[in-house]
Amino acid sequence: MRSLCLSLAFAACVVAMPAAEDYMATAFVEYASAFNKTYTEAEAPARFEAFKANIAKINANNAIEGSEVYGLTKFSDMSAEEFKQYLGYKPVISDAARDAIPVIEDSGNVTATTVDWRTKGKVTPVKDQGQCGSCWAFSATEAIESAWLMAGKPQQILAPQQITSCDKKDLGCNGGDTPTAYQYVEKAGGMVLNKAYPYTSGKKGKTGKCQNQKLRNKVVKISGFKYATKPKPNKGANVQKWQPGEDKMAALMTTSGPLSVCVDASVWQNYKRGVVTKTCKQQLDHCVQAVGFVKKKKSGRGKGKSGSYWIVRNSWNTDWGDKGYIYVGMGGNYCGISNEATMPTV
């Protein structure tokens, strides 16, 4: 039975709490109220421990010099292990198979200082993958939607549920990768509309069985995909020889539109605003969409957007980050943003 409010469920847990934690307990109750959270008496203690751990992470990350700002989010009552369900990057093809996938060769030179495909109507609304590690399916879906728009076609809101449930090379809510998602879409003959195959995996974190009867009216097809820049090998001697390709990504984005990118989003759990740089690592665990960039001279050490950055669209709804977006520093391969960047062909 769900509690009427956190304070009722949590009261029994804080009776014997040391005085030193009274402030944190009060903060936890206020957090739950602000984010409309309710817990059972059984789960409240674990949520409180996760909350305290996230407060420590927030303070540690905000102490690092940079423009990113961390704070409480809807994910701040989750442990790191729980949060991984939102980080569904899991490659299922070998480095050899990846090497066989073509890389776009001619991407031109970057002349623009600002590119934002949202302002040109080439980006669909922010989606929500919910409690399912289907970021890879969302990233591929969003890239296909944008490629369709870049080709001068009318906007189509496609069905990430189709890829999540019907792509058998990937692992549904247990993770996957964009190259195999594109391969599925090409082999399947395209994608259907979201309204024809609504997304349901986000509610309970279940992949769901492929519902073939919903796949009859495919509205968008792709002829393939390419890497925007040479992907970083997963292992072997070539890992050390690999070089980031952000300049090439920017040039391609300028002329051809948004890109699917897979990144390290482990610190995004408590992201609020600003440009993520030094706090981010490069062990890929999440796939998203880069929809633009801003190139400018670094302007001080404040906590706003300073220097050059990528505009990145996430799939955690608009109540996270900057209305569903995050800004990732440009020029340092922050969050591993150029490790795996792809673009489908329609």
What's the pLDDT tens digit per position in 264-284? Answer: 999 999 999 999 998 999 999
User: Of 286, 287, 335, 339, which is the active-site residue?
Assistant: 286
Distance in angstroms (rounded) separating the CA atoms of residues 259 and 246: 12
Name residue 3's beta-bridge partners.
none
Closest among 128, 121, 107 to 151, alpha carbons compared: 121
Q: Please report the pLDDT score of residue 284 as a whole number.
A: 96
Do residues 167 and 243 share a domain? yes
Q: Is 260 helix (H, G, I), strand (E, B) or coil?
A: strand
Report, in this order, helix, strand and coil percent for the chain, each rounded to 5: 35, 15, 50
Chain mean pLDDT for the chain: 90
Q: Is this model's pTM higher than 0.85 or not?
A: yes
Supply the DSSP symbol for 11. H
User: Of 61, 194, 314, 333, which is the active-site residue?
Assistant: 314
Q: Is 70 helix (H, G, I), strand (E, B) or coil?
A: strand
Do residues 36 and 129 share a domain? no
114 pLDDT band, cuts 50/70/90, is very high
CATH number of the domain within which 176 lies: 3.90.70.10
Is 80 exceeded by the pLDDT of residue 300? Answer: no
Q: Please report the pLDDT score of residue 332 as a whole number.
A: 94
Distances (CA, A) of 266 to 83, 169, 345: 8, 25, 30
Q: Which two tokens stand for residue 311?
A: 């505009």
Q: Is 196 left (phi over 0), alpha (psi -120 to 50) or beta?
A: alpha
217 is catalytic: no
Do residues 63 and 88 share a domain? no
Is residue 76 situated within a structural domain? Answer: no
Do residues 187 and 133 share a domain? yes
Domain count for the chain: 2
Distance in angstroms (rounded) separating the CA atoms of residues 110 and 319: 33
Closest among 293, 221, 223 to 257, alpha carbons compared: 293
Supply the DSSP symbol for 213. G
Q: Is 150 left (phi over 0), alpha (psi -120 to 50) or beta?
A: alpha
197 pLDDT band, cuts 50/70/90, is very high
Q: Please report the pLDDT score of residue 7 as a whole number.
A: 44
Do residues 35 and 107 share a domain? no
Looking up tokens 């080709």 gives 151
User: Of 54, 61, 132, 135, which is the active-site residue?
Assistant: 135
Q: Please report the pLDDT score of residue 111 as a whole number.
A: 74
Do residues 224 and 156 share a domain? yes
Q: Which domain holds residue 35?
A: 6-67
* Among 41, 67, 93, residue at a domain's last position: 67
Do residues 201 and 319 share a domain? yes
Is residue 75 situated within a structural domain? Answer: no
Report the chain's C-alpha Rg in angstroms: 21
> Residues 279, 61: contact at Cβ < 8 Å?
yes
> Residues 26, 3: contact at Cβ < 8 Å?
no
Q: Pairing between strand 259-263 and 286-294?
A: antiparallel
Do residues 11 and 125 share a domain? no
Do residues 125 and 25 share a domain? no
Do residues 63 and 125 share a domain? no
317 is catalytic: no
5 is catalytic: no
Q: Please report the pLDDT score of residue 229 as a whole number.
A: 94
Do residues 210 and 341 share a domain? yes
Element (H, E) at 246: helix 246-256
Is residue 111 situated within a structural domain? Answer: yes
Q: Please report the pLDDT score of residue 306 as a whole number.
A: 53
* Among 40, 67, 94, residue at a domain's last position: 67
The mean per-residue pLDDT over the stretch 298-317 comes to 75
Do residues 222 and 307 share a domain? yes
Is residue 300 situated within a structural domain? Answer: yes
Is residue 37 situated within a structural domain? Answer: yes
15 Cβ neighbours under 8 A, 6+ residues apart: none
289 phi, psi to nearest 5 deg: -135, 125
